[in-house]
């Protein structure tokens, strides 16, 4: 039986492991005194394939949005390679509505570093690059301090903890491009190019950074590794939903009384997250719509939230996805035309321009949506908008084309009445002026 802490007693008993209450963990002496880097020692005493096996059996799935099984991804890395192998830790965190990795950099940076070194050991990697978005200058400094401290204590570098294993950990600072959170674009950015996504296959495990085998994992994913190795896969796989287990950092923003990042087991009911964890909607207003996992995920109607849980399977059934677990709540007074116009403007601005459907399509969708916003929309604009979105989806190199199409498609599917009302209002305005 899996633990479901939505039961109040269990909720109280839920001990946070990724971002504990303890606010001194960023200090290396304190972290070491409280069991820090003991898991690294434990991992280094295991065989690399045993570490991978442990991660595989834990059922950990990537926390960056795609929910890909982490252990499986690791097992794609060639065991014998005459080329160096690399790890990229993705801390680009630029999906609107997402602000979780930042908490790890600030409150538990050594957990991330420990996980990074363990991942390197498991895959035989000698250099890891932690890619962090350029805007996080302050958090880059915090993490760099933690890395320097770890180097000074012999935890990174040559012959770690007296073993034969050596690896380096570096931070690479981005410079303000949403697309660089896409893994192949991230690699091009590290290599010193424009952040253009690459065609897959070949996958990074074969041809990645500088043509070498590479694994890319999200910051939160890597931070789960020491937890798995420390407590064991059996313990870990019982937390939350069995097919998508473990602790998850859920961000709640928008119209809630208590916005923030909450660590909880996967599979918590969406409504309980909004009402219990995030304190409900200001003014006790009703919920019109919810974006469950960052702005790229399909929008849900407020009246269809009952029974939806915060895990990959439940949200898939509900017609959306868990994404980066960044929930955006919109109350009954929200102008959804304004919301979707702003979201589309974001994708229009951030499209890297490599694929025509995305580059031209996002511009076109934004133009049509501005007509709705200005009360100049015609009835056929609704289907035109949908047609453009449908022609972006699946027709681009990377998934961010889909990410631009899904919000528009789901908004029309779930809130067609809002678009139709705007068309009516547009006609009325035309007549009266």
Partner 1 sequence: MLNEDNLKRVDELRKRYPTSQALMLPVLWMVQEQEGYISEDSMKYVAALLHIPFGHILGVVSFYTMLQKNQIGKHHIEVCTNVSCMLRGSEKILEHIEQRLGITVGETSPDMKWTLSEAECMGSCGTAPMLAIGDEYYENLTLEKIDKLIDNLK
Q: Which residues bind partner 1 (CB under 8 A)?
A: 84, 93-99, 101-102, 127, 133-138, 141, 168, 170, 172-178, 189-195, 210, 251-255, 259-261, 291, 295, 326, 328, 330, 334, 338-339, 342-343, 346, 349-350, 352
For the bound state, the minimum distance from the C-beta of residue 255 to partner 1, rounded and expressed in Å, comes to 6
What are 143's two structure tokens? 């993490």
Decide whether 237 or 295 has the Cβ nearer to partner 1: 295
Q: How far apart are the C-alpha atoms of 398 and 358, rounded to whole Å?
A: 10
Decide whether 151 or 235 has the Cβ nearer to partner 1: 151
3-state DSSP call for residue 349?
helix
Closest listed residue to residue 104, CA positions, set 3, 247, 215, 258: 247
Decide whether 54 or 95 has the Cβ nearer to partner 1: 95
What are φ and ψ of residue 380, in 5° steps? -70, -10
For the bound state, the minimum distance from the C-beta of residue 50 to partner 1, rounded and expressed in Å, comes to 30
3-state DSSP call for residue 289?
strand
For the bound state, the minimum distance from the C-beta of residue 401 to partner 1, rounded and expressed in Å, comes to 18
- Cis before residue 202, ω within 30 degrees of 0? yes
Q: Which residue has the tokens 């849900």?
A: 300
For the bound state, the minimum distance from the C-beta of residue 330 to partner 1, rounded and expressed in Å, comes to 6
What are φ and ψ of residue 215, in 5° steps? -115, 140
Q: How far apart are the C-alpha atoms of 400 and 407, rounded to whole Å?
A: 11
For the bound state, the minimum distance from the C-beta of residue 57 to partner 1, rounded and expressed in Å, comes to 33
Decide whether 174 or 361 has the Cβ nearer to partner 1: 174
For the bound state, the minimum distance from the C-beta of residue 99 to partner 1, rounded and expressed in Å, comes to 4
Pairing of strands 287-291, 300-301: antiparallel
Instruction: Compute CA distances 340 → 293, 365, 381, 383, whole Å.
Output: 15, 10, 14, 15
Decide whether 121 or 346 has the Cβ nearer to partner 1: 346
What are φ and ψ of residue 319, in 5° steps? 90, 20
Decide whether 345 or 395 has the Cβ nearer to partner 1: 345
For the bound state, the minimum distance from the C-beta of residue 295 to partner 1, rounded and expressed in Å, comes to 6
Decide whether 162 or 192 has the Cβ nearer to partner 1: 192
Decide whether 74 or 131 has the Cβ nearer to partner 1: 131
Partner residues linked to 89 by β-bridges:
130, 217
Decide whether 78 or 259 has the Cβ nearer to partner 1: 259
Q: How far apart are the C-alpha atoms of 410 and 302, rounded to whole Å?
A: 13
What are 328's two structure tokens? 């955006």
What are φ and ψ of residue 394, in 5° steps? 80, 0
What are 371's two structure tokens? 């007509």
Q: Angle, to 10 degrees, between the axis of helix 219-231 and the axis of helix 38-45?
A: 70
Decide whether 41 or 194 has the Cβ nearer to partner 1: 194
For the bound state, the minimum distance from the C-beta of residue 281 to partner 1, rounded and expressed in Å, comes to 11
For the bound state, the minimum distance from the C-beta of residue 230 to partner 1, rounded and expressed in Å, comes to 28
For the bound state, the minimum distance from the C-beta of residue 44 to partner 1, rounded and expressed in Å, comes to 23
Q: Is 356 left (phi over 0), alpha (psi -120 to 50) or beta?
A: alpha
> Do 289 and 300 meet the contact criterion of CB atoms below 8 Å apart?
yes
> Do 297 and 321 meet the contact criterion of CB atoms below 8 Å apart?
yes
């Amino acid at each position: 039986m899996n633990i479901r802490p939505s039961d109040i007693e269990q909720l109280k008993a839920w001990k946070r492991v990724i971002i504990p209450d303890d606010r001194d963990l960023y200090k290396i002496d304190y972290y070491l005194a409280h069991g820090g880097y003991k898991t690294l020692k434990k991992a280094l005493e295991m065989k690399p394939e045993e570490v991978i096996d442990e991660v595989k059996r834990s059922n950990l799935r990537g926390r960056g949005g795609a929910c890909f099984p982490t252990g499986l991804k690791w097992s794609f890395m060639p065991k014998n390679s005459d080329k160096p192998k690399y790890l990229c830790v993705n801390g680009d965190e630029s999906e609107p509505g997402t602000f979780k990795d930042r908490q790890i950099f600030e409150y538990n940076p050594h957990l991330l570093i420990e996980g990074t070194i363990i991942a390197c050991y498991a895959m035989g990697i000698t250099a890891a690059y932690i890619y962090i978005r350029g805007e996080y200058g302050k958090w880059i400094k915090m993490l760099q301090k933690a890395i320097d401290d770890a180097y000074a204590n012999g935890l990174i570098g040559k012959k770690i903890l007296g073993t034969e294993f050596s690896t380096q950990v570096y931070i690479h600072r981005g410079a303000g491009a949403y697309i660089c959170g896409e893994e192949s674009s991230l690699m091009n950015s590290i290599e010193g190019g424009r952040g253009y996504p690459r065609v897959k296959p070949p996958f990074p495990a074969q041809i990645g950074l500088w043509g070498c085998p590479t694994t890319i994992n999200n910051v939160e994913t890597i931070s789960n590794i020491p937890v798995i190795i420390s407590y064991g896969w059996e313990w870990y796989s019982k937390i939350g939903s069995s097919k998508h287990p473990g602790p998850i950092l859920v961000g709640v923003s928008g119209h809630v009384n208590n916005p923030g990042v909450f660590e909880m087991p996967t599979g918590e009911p969406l409504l309980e997250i909004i009402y219990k964890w995030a304190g409900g909607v200001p003014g006790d207003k009703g919920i019109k719509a919810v974006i469950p996992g960052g702005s790229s995920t399909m929008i849900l109607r407020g009246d269809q939230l009952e029974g939806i849980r915060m895990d990959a399977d439940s949200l898939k059934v509900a017609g959306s996805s868990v994404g980066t677990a960044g929930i955006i709540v919109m109350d009954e007074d929200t102008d959804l035309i304004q919301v979707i116009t702003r979201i589309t403007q974001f994708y229009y601005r951030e499209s890297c321009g490599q694929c025509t459907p995305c580059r031209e399509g996002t511009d076109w969708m934004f133009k049509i949506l501005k007509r709705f916003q200005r009360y100049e929309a015609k009835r056929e604009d609704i289907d035109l908008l949908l047609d453009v979105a449908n022609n972006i989806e699946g027709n681009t190199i990377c998934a961010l084309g889909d990410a631009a199409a899904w919000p528009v498609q789901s908004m029309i599917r779930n809130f067609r009445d809002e678009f139709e009302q705007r068309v009516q209002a547009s006609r009325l305005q035309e007549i009266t002026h």
